[in-house]
Each structure stands twice: as structure tokens, then as C-alpha cells.
Amino acid sequence: MAVTTGFVQRFTWLKGGPTACVWVGPSPSPAELLFIQILPADSPSTVAFKRAMVGLLVKAQVTGREVDVGHPDGSAEVTSVATTSCNPSQTPLQLDAIEITQAVQDLAQAVPLIARKRTVVRVYLSNYASAPATVRGELRLRRGPSDPPLILPSLNTTVLDQAQAGNPSAARTDATRSLNFVLPDSHTGPGPLAISIADVTDVVSGNPVAFGCDRRPSVWFHASPPLRVRIVGFRYAQGMPPVTYTPTNLDFQMLLSWLGRAYPVSQVLSSTGLVDATAPPPFGCGDINAQLAALRALDMSSGGDQRTHYYGLVSDGGFFMRGCAGVPYSTPDPSAVGSGPTGPGTWGWDFDGTYGDWYGGHELGHTYGRLHPGFCGETQDDLLRYPFAHGQLANTDSSFVGFDVGDPVLNLPLTALRGTQWHDVMTYCNYQWLSSYTYQGIRLRLLAEAALPASTGPGAPSPGGGGRPDERYPGPARIEQTAAESAAGETMISVVARVNLTKRQGKVQYVHPVPGASISHVVDESPVSLRVVEQGDRRSREYPVEVRLNSELSPADDREGLVDAVVPVTGTARAVELLIGGDVADTFEPAREPPAIRALRAVGTDADGVRMAVESEQPIEQSQSYAVQVSSDGGRSWQTIGVGLREPTFTLDRAHLPEGRDLEVRVIATNGFTSREVRHESLRLSG
Amino acid sequence: MAETSGLVQKLSVGQSFSCAWIGPTPTNTELLLVTSSGSAADAAFAGSLVDTLSAALTNYRAVVAVHGDHDAKITALRIDPV
């Protein structure tokens, strides 16, 4: 009787017989071809036995387990299959498991791996010898059978103690108890990756150490869309004398880093901005979300990518603003916005200098359709039965463990997050990270959003910025007027309103013309409508509109939410009414045509940036306001850095604008239905 | 009846019986058996037991194997939620 020991390199089921062909060996070549054939004369018992052998061989192949395959000396027909013995008395150093993790994972590799995402391979070893050993190791990586292997050294050494042997569950909760390897970008692209241990070395002696119970897993990296997000900081002044509060650069950096580490994405396509809050402090997240929705609507009508999520950051220096967001639960809708507080508070567990990262992860999670699973004092909105007790990442330490892959730029280390201690980011519990449940949910939503068009409609510029060369050639500063009217004489306007369905109250907060936009968030039925009232006896038009309720409402709270819709108005429209339950809750009446703007000038610079002033023929009136936009791509797309402004001055913040690049700045004066614009070109911020 | 729980540390599939080493660590296991009387139903049951044991082994899932107080033949097998 012979035994062939090795890894299942290849497996084929053939109809003839039927016959299972299996190639077993230390590597794809050489490997020995063996077979299991089911014969017509086989008894049920024999068929079951052969099927069980095939089952074990297949599982051994897909999980990289070594097998002993028995067969007669002169035959390749398999007569027995066994996983190889892990014999610590022969080889005191034993390989317990290999885990490939990006944010959360179990040893069965149940969480799909995202291509190009920072990936850590954790190797768990046990030392059954009485003397402890300190080891380092090297991995061998291959992307295909003919691929030359890449040898990758471990980031760390680890101390292996007999008392801790044979307990990978405990080792998984401590990043220092595994050998950790950060995979290079070249080996995390879409497709397969075969992983094996090239060697383990005793750090003290420098000698290689033999190990038993080898495993050689293969994994698959899945292409995944990026996270597209614009983070807008809100500046406010409070107190006497007034003190100005803004989120710090660290708040922005840590939030973006956290999203890249915790969310199922390889890339965070981001931009940041800083704007003045139009509502007086202490404002609420509903005020900020309304302003953010207005900002976004202007950005989208000016070439922005429709798949971009917007999030508002508010410093807690002056007061604590509880966060909230819109929740597009059933349909992908990146226009849902959210906002939340940030500051250096630790909450007793977060010591990285800011809590705006996980707090932002929670509110942005809502904008990806995630609901509260109902733990630690929150209302249970997610009725799909969150799978783990108490909102934890896992029920036991032998299943899912969170893992923060760290950020070298921000000096954040690799950190294991015990599944029974850490909680899902959509809960109100401490120790927040993404559970496998939320990770998968956001991944599916990202895929659905990726299928949405990037641009809004016929008026949006193409991403490549095409067009007649003479029209694209940058000219001197010029003054323009736009009516934002379509050929049919209709103007699309963005209307942002806050509503309280319980009290049947509401307020139209922002109205702007949005050239090129399409009608949006108009639904068949809704308790809330926008009615465009015409002059004279012309018939008014009514548009039922979607209401996005505040994500953080408890059953006792009023049903408060946001209306963020685009509707058409004609040149004869005289007002937009906000109707709740059929009653008029608020009316927006545009003022006269906005004043012509003569010029836009830089009037000074300081450490924060450039102070700009608008010169117009007359001051703006009630129901008129300014919006300010900046372009760093020659006017192909614009980002709004001010909206609802009543004063003709503003600051271009150095920290949130690209240095050393030509910027265009434009100011739009609007009465809600029409607008006038002035543009200042070729402004450059230096460091 | 007795219960033995833990990870499937090793599995050996043979013609007359299969062996499963079950326990918390490779050095602390109990050897249990999967056997079949030869009837079609019993053979199918034994095959399913081995399939379950191999899935648990390769996915690091703990099992609870039920067997007689004084014998090692597995009569029932359970994988509890984690």
C-alpha cells in the first residue's frame, strides 16, 4: 500500500464512470494523478464511501489542507483519504491557521476580499516545546501556477509559548500573537492568490525551524467600486467675544482613513471643503443636512459625480451636535446626506485623537441604506435580525474578528478587534467597527450605486471635458449671466426643505436653479408636496416628493426629515409652496431678479486663505443669496464652498483647496428661480 | 449517551470506517468513528456524517459528536451557531 502526501492541486469530475481525477503533490508540478471511480456494481455503502473521499479531497483543495491519499502500490485508484497528522511530539512547531483579513474575517474566509484593499495575512503558530521561541517568517505568494513566487517577509516577530499552544482563537484577538504580512499591491488585484509559508526562522539562532500541519490557502480578490465621498467641514462662531470653531485637519484625515480601513473598498475617492454654517449655533444636524443637500445639488448640476456621498463634519468645540442622516433603505441613492460631530473625545475607548471617524462611519452607513440593528439604546430599525448578540462583531472569539489594517501615514498600527468586545458601527455601543453583516451590506449597496450614471443629464459636462476648443480655451476673467432655462422655457430648481410630519410643519430652506438637472425625488404618493404656483389664473402644478426621515429618531420623537427635490418651474411661476398633509406649511416667493454682479476680487490673504469680495450693483434682498463655487479642472466641474450666503465676502480656505493649481472661482447670486454669475479665473494658492 | 465537542483536528476516510479526531487542540482529542452497517440508508447517513465532519474541519467550525457512553461510534453530529 502506498500513500501520496501533498496538497490537492487540481480536481476534475469526468462523466465516464463517473470518475474523479485528483492531482496531489507539493506544488502544481510535480503532482501525482490519482482517481476515484464509481462503478455500476458498487454497493450503496461503497458509493457513499467514495463520495465521502471525494468530498474531503475537494474541501482540502479549496481550503489548502494537506492530505494523505492511500492507493495500492501498482495503482492510482484511491482507497483512503486522510488529512495529515498534526503531530506536535514530532514537530513542536505547528501551523494552526492562516487568515487573510482586510477589516473583519473568520477562519473559514467567509468575508469576500476586495481587490486592491490593504490586506493582512495572519499566520497562527503554536509551539509545543517547553522553551518559548521567538520567530519570524516568510510567505510565498503566487497568482497562478506559472507565476514566479514572491517571497514576503513578516512585519513582526512573535513569541510562541507552550502555554498558549493550540488556541488560535485567543491568538486572533491580539495582533502581536500572529505573524503578520501586508500583501503588496501587485498581489491584491482581481483574481486568485495562492499563499504558503516559505519558512519560519528562530530569531535568536537565525536558523530555520521545521513546522507541521502545513496549510496553503488560495483566496480570490473581488473587484469593487470605490467609495466616493465629499467631506464638508462646517465653520461656526459662538460666544462673546465670538470664537470660531472648525474641524481640524486630523478630523478630516482620520475620517477618510477610517473609511478606507473599515469600509469594503480599496479606494476612497474624496474631496474636502470648509463652509460657513448658515444656521446660527447651536444648530442641529437637520440644519446642516439641509445646507449640505443644497451644496450637493449645486455641485451635481455643475459636473459633479452623482455617485458621490456628502458628509458634514461639525466641531464639538462650541457645542455637541448629535449626528443624523437620510436613509435610502430600499433603493440606492447617493444624494442622501449625513452629518455628525467631531472632536478629541475618547468616549472611554477611542484614543486616536478624534471620534469623528467612527461617528462619520455610522452616519455615512445610513446613507448606504444601513439601519440600526437595535443595541445599546438605539431604536431597532433593522428588522432583518442582526446575527450577533448585543450588537457584537461575533458571538464567540472562534468566529469573526475585526482587524484594523492600520495606516502608516497616520501612524496607526495593525490592531485586532475582538469580536466579543467590539460592536457593529450601526449600533450605539462603544468599540465600533464594521461587522461582517454591515460590511457585506455596504458592499452590495456600493455595487448597486456603481451601476448608477455618473452624470445627471443632458446639461452635465462630460467627464473628459470635451467641447469646442475655442469655448474651452481659458480666457480672461469674465462676467456671465445665466437664466438656467431649458429650451422649453422651464427652469429646474432644487428645493431643500425641513419638515416635521408629526406637527405638520415645515420650512423651505434653500431654492436654487440647477441647470441641466433632472426632476428628482418626485414620487407617486407622499404626505408632502411641492406646489409651483403660477401667476394669474394659470394652473399650479403639484409634485409629491420623497421625505427622508432623520436616521436617529426614537418612537417618541417627532417624524422630522428632509425634502431634497428638483422640480421644474416656468418663467411665469411666482412661488413654491410646501404642502404637508394638503396644508401649506411654508411658501417660498422669489425676490426680484438678483442684482448684476460687477466683479469678484481677492481683497486679502492670511494664514487660512484668500479673502474674496463680491461687487454688485446693489445689495441682495431678502430671499436672495450668494453661492460660491470653485473649480480646479478648468471649469469642467465645480465644488460649492458657500451657499445661502447673505454677505458679499467669503474666504477660500487653503487647507481644502489644491495648492499650486489654477483655480477658478465663481459667485452665483440667485433669487431661487434665476441667477447671475461672476467668474474669477486663474487664482493660485501657494503653500 | 455522551457528547464530545471541539474542532475536528484530523479526519481519515476509509472503506470500512472513517476516523475523526475531535478536541480543542491537536494534542487533546478523542478518536471517534463513523461506520455503516451496509444498508443504503445507513451508508448514506455515514457519508453525510463524513461530509459534515470534513466541512467542519476545513472551515474551523467546532462540532458536537454524540456517541455511546462506552463506544466511539458517532450516532449524531451537531454544529452549533457561533
Per residue in B5-54, pLDDT tens? 998 999 999 988 999 999 988 888 999 999 988 888 888 889 889 998 99
- Dihedrals phi, psi of B20, to nearest 5 degrees: -130, 125
pLDDT at A480 over 60: no
Q: Which residues of A touch B54 (CB under 8 A)?
A: 52, 55-56, 59-60
Residue A117's alpha-carbon distances to A101, A291, A418, B76, in angstroms, are 10, 33, 21, 42
Assigned C-alpha cell, A661: 493649481
One-letter-per-residue 3-state SS of A307-370: CCEEEEEEECCCCCCCCEECCCCCCCCCCCEEEEEECCCCCCCCCCCCCHHHHHHHHHHHHCCC
* Mean pLDDT, residues A262-268 taken together: 98
Q: How far is CA A147 from CA A144, A192, A193, B25, in A?
A: 5, 11, 10, 36
Please indicate whether, in this complex, the C-beta atoms of B43 and A47 are within 8 angstroms of each other: yes
Nearest 5 degrees, angle CA A419-CA A425-CA A427? 95
Q: How far is A443 from chain B (nearest CA, A)?
A: 23
B18 in contact with A, Cβ within 8 Å: yes
Is the backbone peptide bond immediately before A282 cis, with ω within 30 degrees of 0?
yes
Query: How high is the pLDDT of residue A456?
Result: 57
Amino acid at A21: C
Does B27 contact A at CB distance below 8 Å?
A: yes
How far apart CA A423 and CA A390 sit, in angstroms, is 8
Of B43, B58, B82, the CB nearest to A399: B82
Q: How many other β-carbons are positioned within 10 Å of the β-carbon of residue B27?
A: 16
* Domain boundaries defined on chain B: 2-78
Q: Do A398 and B82 touch (CB under 8 A)?
A: yes
CA distances from A271 to A66, A229, A277, A630, A657 (A): 48, 7, 18, 12, 9
Torsion sign, CA atoms A569, A570, A574, A580 = negative
Q: B26 — contact with chain A (CB < 8 Å)?
A: yes
| pLDDT, tens digit (0-9, with 9 covering 90-100), for A616-650 | 888 888 889 999 999 988 888 899 999 999 888 88
What is the tens place of the pLDDT at every residue in A69-96?
999 999 999 999 999 988 899 999 999 9
Asked if B40 has any chain A CB less than 8 Å from its own CB, the reply is yes
Q: CA-CA distances (angstroms) from residue A186 to A56, A143, A190?
A: 33, 10, 10
> Is A142 strand, coil or helix?
strand
Domains and CATH numbers, chain A: 2-83 (2.40.50.340), 93-222 (2.60.40.10), 227-450 (3.40.390), 481-588 (no CATH), 593-684 (2.60.40.10)
From B34, which residue of chain A is nearest by alpha-carbon distance? A49
pLDDT in tens, A373-421: 999 999 999 988 899 999 999 999 989 999 999 999 999 999 999 999 9
Instruction: Kindly list the residues from chain B whose CB atom is less than 8 angstroms away from the CB atom of residue A52.
Output: 13, 18, 46-47, 50-51, 54
CB contact under 8 A, A53 and B13: yes
Q: Which residue of A has its CA nearest to B20?
A: A82
- For the segment A451-463, the average pLDDT, to the nearest whole number, is 57
pLDDT above 90 (res A318): yes
Least confident of A296-300, A352-356, A373-377, A604-608: A604-608
Using alpha carbons, select from A254, A251, A278 the residue that is nearest to residue A268. Answer: A254
**A142-156 average pLDDT score:** 92
* Range from A25-29, A254-258, A663-667 carrying the lowest mean pLDDT: A25-29
Mean pLDDT of the residues in chain A: 91
Lowest mean pLDDT among A161-170, A223-232, A412-421, B58-67: B58-67
Mean per-residue pLDDT for A299-308?
94
In the prediction, which pLDDT does B59 show? 82
Indicate which of A1, A8, A36, A45 best probes the interface with B, i.e. most B CBs within 10 Å of its own CB: A45
pLDDT given at position A487: 44
A115: closest CA among A267, A312, A10?
A267
Quote the CA–CA distance of A25 and A216 in Å, as a whole number: 12
Helices (H) and strands (E) in chain A, counts: 7, 41
Could you say which architecture CATH assigns to the domain B2-78? Beta Barrel (2.40)
Residue B11 contacts A where some CB pair is shorter than 8 Å: yes
Give yes or no for a contact between A661 and A632, defined as CB atoms under 8 angstroms apart.
yes
Of A94-98, A238-242, A465-469, which range is least confident? A465-469
The DSSP code sequence of A171-204 is: HHT-GGGSEEEEPPGGGSSSEEEEEEEEEEEETT
What is the mean predicted confidence (pLDDT) over A431-452? 96
Is residue A327 a contact partner of residue A469, using CB atoms and an 8 Å limit?
no
For residue B27, list chain A residues with Cβ-Cβ distance below 8 A: 88, 128, 165-166
Mean pLDDT throughout A589-612?
A: 86
- d(C-alpha A397, C-alpha A6), whole Å: 31
Q: Which of A434-438, A583-587, A676-680 has the lowest mean pLDDT?
A: A676-680
Of the candidates A65, A82, A108, the beta carbon closest to that of B12 is on A82
Contacts of B20 in chain A (CB under 8 A): none
Residues A579/A585/A589/A594 CA torsion (nearest 10 deg) = -100
- pLDDT class for A681, splitting at 50, 70, 90? low
Using pLDDT thresholds of 50, 70 and 90, give the confidence band for residue A677: confident
**A494, pLDDT greater than 90:** yes
Contact A82 B38 (CB under 8 A): no
What's the pLDDT at B25?
A: 80
Query: What pLDDT, on a 0 to 100 scale, did the predictor assign at position A483?
Result: 36
Name the pLDDT band for A33 (thresholds 50, 70, 90).
very high
Interface of A with B (CB under 8 A): 43-49, 51-53, 55-56, 59-60, 62-63, 65, 68, 79-88, 94, 97, 106-108, 126, 128, 165-168, 213, 394-396, 398-399
Reported confidence tier of residue A336, pLDDT bands at 50, 70, 90: very high
Query: Between chain A and chain B, how many beta carbons pairs sit less than 8 Å apart?
Result: 114
CA distance B74 to chain A (A): 16
Residues of A in contact with B59 (CB under 8 A): 63, 107-108
On the question of a cis peptide bond just before residue A30, with omega within 30 degrees of 0, the verdict is yes
Q: What is the ipTM of this complex?
A: 0.73
Band of pLDDT at residue A561, cut at 50, 70 and 90: very high
Q: Give the mean pLDDT of A171-179.
A: 97
Residue A563 pLDDT greater than 50, yes or no: yes
Contact (Cβ atoms closer than 8 angstroms) between residue A119 and residue A104 = no
Instruction: Determine, for residues A394 and B25 on separate chains, whether the beta-carbon distance falls below 8 Å.
Output: no
Q: Read off the pLDDT band of A446 (50, 70, 90).
A: very high
Nearest to A608 by CA among A664, A658, A652, A647: A652
CB contact under 8 A, B18 and A52: yes
Q: For the residues A245-257, what does the mean pLDDT come to? A: 97
Q: What is the mean pLDDT of chain B?
A: 89
Decide if B58 touches A, using CB distance below 8 A: yes
Q: Which residues of B touch A82 (CB under 8 A)?
A: 10-13, 19
Residues of A in contact with B36 (CB under 8 A): 45, 48-49
What pLDDT sits at residue A619? 85
Whether this prediction's pTM lies above 0.80 is answered by yes
**N- to C-terminal Cα distance for chain B?**
24
pLDDT at B75: 92
* Nearest residue in chain B measured CA to CA from A97: B60
Chain-chain contact of B42 with A213 (C-beta, under 8 angstroms): no
pLDDT at position A423 is: 98
Whole-number pLDDT of residue B82 = 57
Chain B residues with beta carbon closer than 8 angstroms to that of A65: 57-58
Q: How confident is the model at residue A680 (pLDDT cuts 50, 70, 90)?
A: confident
Instruction: Tell me if chain A has a CB within 8 Å of the CB of B46.
Output: yes
